[in-house]
Structure 1
Amino acid sequence: MKPIPKYIALLLFIIGFYACAGTGWSPDGGPYDEEPPKFVRATPVPNAVNNTRKNVSIEFDEYINLENASEKVIISPPQREQPEVKTSGKRVVVKFIDSLMANTTYTIDFGDAIVDNNESNPLGQFSYAFSTGPEIDTMAVSGTVLNAENLEPIKGIQVGLHKNLNDTAFTKLPFDRISRTDSRGQFTIRGVAPGKYRIYALQDGNQNYMYDSKTETVAWSDSLIVPDMTPAVRFDTVWNEIDTTHIDTIFEVHYTRFLPDNIMLRAFKEESTMQYLAKSERPETKKFNLYFSAKADTLPTLRGLDFDEKQLIVEANLRNDSITYWVKDTTLCERDTLTIELKYLETDTLGQLVPTTDTLRMVNKIPRERRLAMKKEADEKAEKERKKKEKKGDTLAVQTPFLTINVDAPSELDINRNIVLSFEEPVEHIDTSAIHMQTMIDSVWQDTPFIFQADTIAPRRYIVLANWQPGQEYQLTIDSLGFKGIYGLYTDKVENKLKVKTVDQYGTLFLNITGAGPHAIVQLLNSSDAVVRQQPVKENNTCDFYFLQPGTKYYLRLFNDTNRNGKWDTGNYEEKRQAEEVFYFPKTWEMKANFEFEENWNLYAIPLDRQKPDEIKKQKPDETKKIKDRNKERAKKLGRT
C-alpha cells in the first residue's frame, strides 16, 4: 500500500480541525492541579531526639514555594541570629546559625506559608520539631492579643513564655519559647514543656526578645500559665457537592486539646516620661511652635536674644507638650529669623529631669525676598483685575479687611449643643455688650439671657450658652467691632438665625449594665470608632444617652476609670499596672426619631476578642487560603456537568 502523500495528509488534518471547531471543541490543557503539597520525609526525622544537626531539610511530593516566610515562619526558641529559610525544588531548607542549646525542643512553625509551585495550593498549618535532648516537648498554649484601648487585634506581635517567674526576666532575658500573632491577633506557642510560666506580648523594636524601651507595645498576664492537655472530640462537616446547602457527612474527630487555649492579652504602650524637645518650627510669619516628647508640669522659659519676648502671646495645650508662640509685633513677623534662648527640663541618661538650655533659630518657612515677590505678584494681579472692571464700567467696591470669625451655629441647633465662636488668631479685646441673643415670641424678637465664656481647652474658642427651648427660634447678633485681634483687625457684623430641634426628632438609648467597675464610663462611638459623647455609669448601674441623631449608626465602648480622671489610661509594667479595662457592646444601633432603645449589657457575656463589631474594626483578618477548586469551572466550560 502506497503511503498517503503529505499534501493529502495535511488537507485531512485541516478538515478534521475545523470539523471539531464546528462542534464546539477546543484544545484543553487538562485538569488543574488542586492537590496541596504532601510531606514526604525530613532530615532529621520529625520529632527526632538527641539531634545535633544544624541543617534541616523537609521534602514534599512536588515543587514548592514559601510565601511571606519572614512574616509567617516562626522558630522557637528565639534565635539571636535568624536562621536561613529557603526552598530548593521540592525541599524547604532551614540552616541554624546559632549554636543549638542542649536538652531543648526546637519548633519551626510554617503556618500556611508552604504552597505548591503551580497553583499556590496551600499545605495548611504545618509545623516541624526536633529535640537536642532525649525527650521532645509537645504541649502548646494559645490565645489572642488585643489593643487594650480599642480591642483591635494586633497582627505580628511577639508572644513569649518565661520559665523564670521573676518580673525582671522580661526586661533582662530573652523568651524561652516564642510565637507571633496572625491577622486575627491569635497565637499558638508550641513545643512547651510541663511547668509554670509567665506569658508576655512584645512589639520588639530592636529584636532582642526583651522589654527594654517604653516605645515598645507590651502585654502580660497576671496569672501563671500552666500547660495541660486533655482528650477532646470535634465534629467536621462535609457538604453535598451538588446541593451545597445540605450536609453530606459529619465526622467525629478525636484529638488532643492543649490548654490553656483562651489566653487574652491586652497590649499597650506606656506613657513616655522621657522629656526632650522633639521639634521646633515656624510655619507662618506670625507664629512658631515647640513640641516636647512628654507632658510637663510647667512651661519652658523663653528669652528673645534679638527681640523682646514680651511681644509674644503663649498658647499651650493642657499637657504643656505643644506650645504656640504668636508674634504680636508685625515688624518682627517680617524678619526671616528670630533667635531665642529656651530653658526647660530634659531627661538625662539616668532618667532624671535636669535643667537644659538651648539656643534656637526660628526661621520663616518662606524667605522675606520670596514673600515680597509673591505679594508684588498678587498686587499686580489685583490691579490688573481692577483696571479690567473699571474699563467695563463696573462698580469698584473697596474691600475692608476684617478679623475672621467662624460661627458654628447651624440653622437647626441640637438641644444638647451650644454656639461656638472661633478665631484664626488671638483676640486682644472683646466687647461683650456687642453680643446679643434674642428669641422669637409672638412674632417679635425679644432679648433672652445667655452666657458667653472662653473654652477651657481649645484656645481662640468661645462658647455661647443659653437655656435652649425645643422648637424655639433664636437669633445671635454680634455688632461690628465686637472683637479685636492682636494685629488690629475688627470683626464685621454677624447675624445668625437658628431653630432648636424638638425632642421627638431624636432617639434615646437606656443601658442596664452588669459587671462594670465602680467608676465606669460609657462612650458613644460613630462608625469611625471615634467618641461622640461619654457618660459615667450611675450607682444603679445604668447609663442613658439622649438626643441621638436618627439615621445614624452608633456603637458603645465602656472603660473602668480606675483613677477617676475621666479618660482611658494606659498601663505601666514597672508598677505592674494593667491598662484600664475596655469592653465593647457587640451590637450596632441605627437610631430612629422618637424611639427609645433599652438594652441589657453584661460585660463578660462574650469573650473580649468577639465583642468589637467587625464593621468598625480597622485590623481586618487576612483572607484564608483555600484550594482554588478551578476544575469545577473547567468542567462547566467543557459541558461535563
Structure 2
Amino acid sequence: MTFFRSLKNTLFQVLYLLLLVCGLYACASIGTPSGGDDDFTPPKFTGSEPAANALHINQKTISLLFNEYISIDKPAEKVIITPPQKKQPLIKAVGKKITVELKDSLILNTTYTFDFTNGIVDNNEKNALEGFSFAFSTGDVLDSLVISGLLLDAETLEPIPNTLVGIHSDLSDTAFTTLPFLRTSQTNETGRFWIRNVAPGTYRLFSLNDANRNFKLDAPFEALAFYDSLIVPSFEPAVRQDTIWKDSLTVDTIQTIHYTRFTPDDVVLRLFQEKFEQQYLLKTTRSDARRFTMEFNAPVEEKPDIALLNATGKVNQADWCLPEYSADRKNITYWIKDSLVYQQDTLRIEAGYCAHDTANVLIQKTDTIRLIAKKAPTPKNKNKSATNEPQREVLTITITPSGTLEVFDTLNITVSEPLRWFDRECILLSQKVDTLWNVLNVPLMQDALNPRRYYLSPLWPYGQEYQIKIDSAAWIGIYGNWNDSLQTTLRTRTEKDYAQLFVQLTGNEFAGFGQLLDGSQKVVKEVPLEDGELAFYDIKPGKYYLRYIEDVNGNRLWDTGKYAENRQAEPVYYYSGFFELKAYMEMEQNWNIKELPIEKQKPLEITKNKPKEKQPRKNDNRNKNNGNRNNANSQSAMPGMPRMSGF
C-alpha cells in the first residue's frame, strides 16, 4: 500500500514538472502580434474649455479635448477663425488636446467660430474629423444660422477646393474691396462650404482666392465670385430618412430623423479670374546673328517700337528688321534684313513697349538693350580632301498636314525664313480627276502674325486626291536662299469615314456656340448656335462631350467677369452625358441646358476634382460591426448645434 502511494506521488510530481516546462516554453515563444482591425474612425470631440457654445466668454485661449492622440494638418490653411483675425493666432496640438491662443482683442457681443475643416486627424491612421467647428459668444446670444453652397470654376464647372467664402452685412459694392469679411469659411475638397454662426440679417456673399490673406479683394490677380442676389439666412423644421445597415448588403432599419434645415443651402458661386496679366519684358535673346527675340510675360497688344542705335543715330524698325509673333503673342522674333547690321557681333537697340508699373498701371517703357550674337559652332570636316567652300543654304518648306487631309483642314506652308520674293505661277495645287491633274485656282494667304507662314484653304470634297508642286527657286528668302523643288500628294477621307451630330438646344437666354470636347477636354470642334441647332459636321469616330457657352457680347469667345462692372463670367453649360460616334453615323439629340442644376451637369468622367473614396490603409479586415454605424450626418456639426442639410 505504501509502495502504491509513493508511486502515485512520484507520478504527480513528474506531471507537475511537465506542465511547468510547457508553460515556460509558451511564455518564451516569440510571436507576431496581429494588431487587430484597421482604425477607420476619426477622432471624437470629448470636451473643451470654455464649453462649446458658451456665452459671456472673455478668455482668448481655448482648449479642445479628443478621445485619442491627434495632430493638425496645415493649421495656417485649414483652420478658419471668424471674425477674421488681423494677427495670426497660435494653434498647436499636443497629445489629445488642441490649444488656440488668439492674439487680437475679443470683440464684444460677437460669436466666434473656429472652423477646422478637415485639419484634425488622428496620429496613427490620419483619419480626418471632417467639418468640425467650435463656437462661443462674448455676449448674451450665440448666433446659429448657416449659409451653405458650392463653389465652381466659371469656365469649366470644376469644384474649387480650399478657397475662402465670406459675407458682408455692408451691402455696398465697395465693401468687398475695402473691408475684410464679416464672417468667413473655406470650401472643402469637393468645393462645398458652410458659413456657420451667422446672425439674422441681410448679406452679400462672395468667394475669394485670397493671395495676401487680408480677406478682401485688393489685387488684380485674385480670383473671385459674387452672388447676384442678397442672402437672408433662415431655418425651418425638416425630415429626412436615414438608413442603418447590418452589413454592406443588408438594411437594418430606416429611421425618420427630424432636424433643423438652415437656408439657403443650395447657393452656387462661379469663380473667375478677371482679365489681367501683369505685362513686363522677361528677356531679350539673340539666338543667331540674323534674328533676336523679345519674350514678354503676357500677350503683346500694342506693337513695340524698335529702333537700331548706331553712330549716326536711330534707324527705324521697318528699315532693318521684320517682326514675327508667336501664336500666343507673348514672343516677338525680329528678323534682321540688313546684312551690314546682322554681321555686327554687338547691336544696341532702343525698345519702347507697354509694361505694368508697381501699382499695376500700364505705362510706356523704354529700354536700351545690348544684343550679342551667339557664335554658331564650327562644323567638323571629316573629309580632309573636301574644299573649304561654304555650302549653299537651302530655303526649306514644310507642308502640314501631310498624307491624309481632313475635309475641314487648312493647308499650312511654312518657310525657314521670311520671303523677299516668290513666283505664284510656280506653286501649283492640283486635283486628280480620273487620270489627269487639274490645276486649282486657290489664293495663297499670308498669316497676319507670322510672315513665314502661308495658307491654302479651299473646300476639300470627300475622297479626293490632291498634289502640291513647287518649282525650284520659286521662293527666295530675305537672305538670298532659295528652295529646292518639292512635290507631295494628299488625300481626303470619304464621307463614310465621318459622323454627323445635330443637337437641338433649348433653355438658352443668349446666342452662343457649342464645343465638342474629347476625354481630355480639348476642343475638337466649335460651331455657332443657328436656328436653335448645333450642327457638328464631319467628326472623326470617337467618344465626345459637349458644352455650350452663352456668348453675351457676341465675340465667339468665353469672356470672364469683372466685379467693378457687376458683370459675371459668361454662362457655361455641360451636357450631362456623352456621344459615342461611329463612322457614317448621323445622330440627333435634344438638350435643355437648364434641365439639370449647373452643379450636376458636368460628366464625372471628365471632372478632374472627383469625390475621393476613402481607401483602407493596410488591409480590408474591417470590423463587421462598423456596418451598424449611422453615417447619415457626414458633415460633423459644431458641438451642440443641430445637423445641417447638404445638397
Q: TM-score, normalised by structure 2?
A: 0.85
The one of 229, 232, 256 aligned to 1:226: 232
Distance 2:278 2:331 in 1: 15
- Offset, 1:320: 6.5
Match in the other structure for 2:257: 253
Distance 2:243 2:205 in 1: 35
- Offset, 1:490: 1.7
Q: Is the 8 A contact 1:439 1:475 kept in 2?
A: yes
1:98 and 2:104 are equivalent in the alignment: yes
Match in the other structure for 1:176: 182
1:608 and 2:598 are equivalent in the alignment: yes
Match in the other structure for 1:574: 564
Distance 1:616 1:289, change over 3 A: farther
Q: Is the 8 A contact 2:37 2:622 kept in 1?
A: no
Distance 1:86 1:252 in 2: 40
Match in the other structure for 1:81: 87
The one of 58, 61, 77 aligned to 2:64: 58
Q: Is the 8 A contact 1:183 1:620 kept in 2?
A: no
The one of 584, 590, 593 aligned to 2:580: 590
Distance 2:130 2:444 in 1: 66
**Over the residues paired in the alignment, what is the CA RMSD in angstroms?**
3.3
Match in the other structure for 2:51: 45
Alignment of 1:415-430 (within 5 A): 415-430=407-422
Q: Is the 8 A contact 1:121 1:628 kept in 2?
A: no
Match in the other structure for 1:394: none
The one of 333, 336, 339 aligned to 2:348: 339
Distance 2:340 2:17 in 1: 99
SS in 2 for 1:578: coil
- Offset, 1:530: 2.1
SS in 2 for 1:170: helix
Distance 2:150 2:521 in 1: 21
SS in 2 for 1:504: helix
Q: Is the 8 A contact 1:121 1:626 kept in 2?
A: no
Code of the residue aligned with 1:447 in structure 2: it is V
SS in 1 for 2:254: strand
Code of the residue aligned with 1:338 in structure 2: it is L
- Offset, 1:537: 0.6
Distance 2:338 2:303 in 1: 22
1:461 and 2:470 are equivalent in the alignment: no
- Offset, 1:427: 2.4
1:406 and 2:398 are equivalent in the alignment: yes
- Offset, 1:532: 2.2
Q: Is the 8 A contact 1:422 1:462 kept in 2?
A: yes
Code of the residue aligned with 2:284 in structure 1: it is S
Code of the residue aligned with 2:368 in structure 1: it is T
Q: Is the 8 A contact 1:74 1:108 kept in 2?
A: yes
Match in the other structure for 1:122: 128
The one of 360, 363, 368 aligned to 1:359: 368
Distance 1:319 1:409 in 2: 21
Distance 1:399 1:499 in 2: 36
Q: Is the 8 A contact 2:285 2:293 kept in 1?
A: yes
Distance 1:627 1:125 in 2: 22
The one of 8, 12, 22 aligned to 1:12: 22
Distance 1:30 1:247, change over 3 A: closer
Match in the other structure for 1:72: 78
Q: Is the 8 A contact 1:437 1:448 kept in 2?
A: yes
Code of the residue aligned with 2:119 in structure 1: it is A
1:553 and 2:535 are equivalent in the alignment: no
Distance 1:363 1:104 in 2: 66
Q: Is the 8 A contact 2:221 2:277 kept in 1?
A: no
- Offset, 1:222: 1.3
Distance 2:545 2:279 in 1: 36
Match in the other structure for 1:638: none
1:150 and 2:117 are equivalent in the alignment: no
Q: Is the 8 A contact 1:299 1:320 kept in 2?
A: no
Q: Is the 8 A contact 1:77 1:177 kept in 2?
A: yes
CA displacement, residues 192-233 of structure 1 (integer Å, 9 cap, x when unaligned): 111111111111111111111111111111111111111222
Distance 2:350 2:213 in 1: 39
Code of the residue aligned with 2:102 in structure 1: it is F
Q: Is the 8 A contact 1:122 1:625 kept in 2?
A: no
1:288 and 2:278 are equivalent in the alignment: no
Distance 1:633 1:332, change over 3 A: farther
Q: Is the 8 A contact 1:272 1:293 kept in 2?
A: no
Distance 1:144 1:337, change over 3 A: farther
Distance 1:341 1:256, change over 3 A: same
The one of 493, 498, 522 aligned to 1:501: 493
Distance 1:303 1:192 in 2: 62
Distance 2:196 2:351 in 1: 54
Distance 1:508 1:55, change over 3 A: same
Match in the other structure for 2:643: none
Match in the other structure for 2:3: none
SS in 2 for 1:111: coil
CA displacement, residues 66-102 of structure 1 (integer Å, 9 cap, x when unaligned): 2333332222121112212211111111111111111
Code of the residue aligned with 1:528 in structure 2: it is S
Quick check: 401-410 or 316-325, which moved more?
A: 316-325
Distance 1:458 1:605, change over 3 A: farther
1:562 and 2:548 are equivalent in the alignment: no
SS in 1 for 2:425: helix
SS in 1 for 2:150: strand
1:131 and 2:137 are equivalent in the alignment: yes
Distance 1:455 1:320, change over 3 A: closer
1:470 and 2:438 are equivalent in the alignment: no
Distance 1:261 1:634 in 2: 35
Code of the residue aligned with 1:288 in structure 2: it is F
CA displacement, residues 34-58 of structure 1 (integer Å, 9 cap, x when unaligned): 5443222101100011111110101
Code of the residue aligned with 1:224 in structure 2: it is L
Q: Is the 8 A contact 1:195 1:226 kept in 2?
A: yes
- Offset, 1:597: 1.6
Distance 1:28 1:418 in 2: 68
Distance 1:302 1:33 in 2: 68
Code of the residue aligned with 1:611 in structure 2: it is Q
Code of the residue aligned with 1:530 in structure 2: it is K
Distance 1:498 1:352, change over 3 A: closer
Q: Is the 8 A contact 2:325 2:450 kept in 1?
A: no
Quick check: 34-43 or 216-225, which moved more?
A: 34-43
Distance 1:80 1:6, change over 3 A: farther
Quick check: 92-101 or 142-151, which moved more?
A: 142-151
Unpaired runs of 5+ residues, structure 1, are: 391-397, 636-641
Distance 2:273 2:413 in 1: 36
- Offset, 1:628: 7.8
- Offset, 1:506: 0.6
Code of the residue aligned with 2:366 in structure 1: it is T
Distance 1:595 1:68 in 2: 53
- Count of equivalent residues: 607
Distance 1:334 1:624, change over 3 A: farther
- Offset, 1:458: 4.8
- Offset, 1:353: 5.5
Code of the residue aligned with 1:302 in structure 2: it is I
Quick check: 399-408 or 563-572, which moved more?
A: 399-408
Code of the residue aligned with 2:414 in structure 1: it is S
- Offset, 1:412: 2.4
Distance 2:401 2:330 in 1: 31
Q: Is the 8 A contact 1:64 1:114 kept in 2?
A: yes
Q: TM-score, normalised by structure 1?
A: 0.86
SS in 1 for 2:77: helix
Quick check: 504-513 or 308-317, which moved more?
A: 308-317
Distance 1:132 1:271, change over 3 A: same
Unpaired runs of 5+ residues, structure 2, are: 1-8, 626-647
Code of the residue aligned with 1:232 in structure 2: it is A
SS in 2 for 1:597: strand
Distance 1:573 1:210 in 2: 13
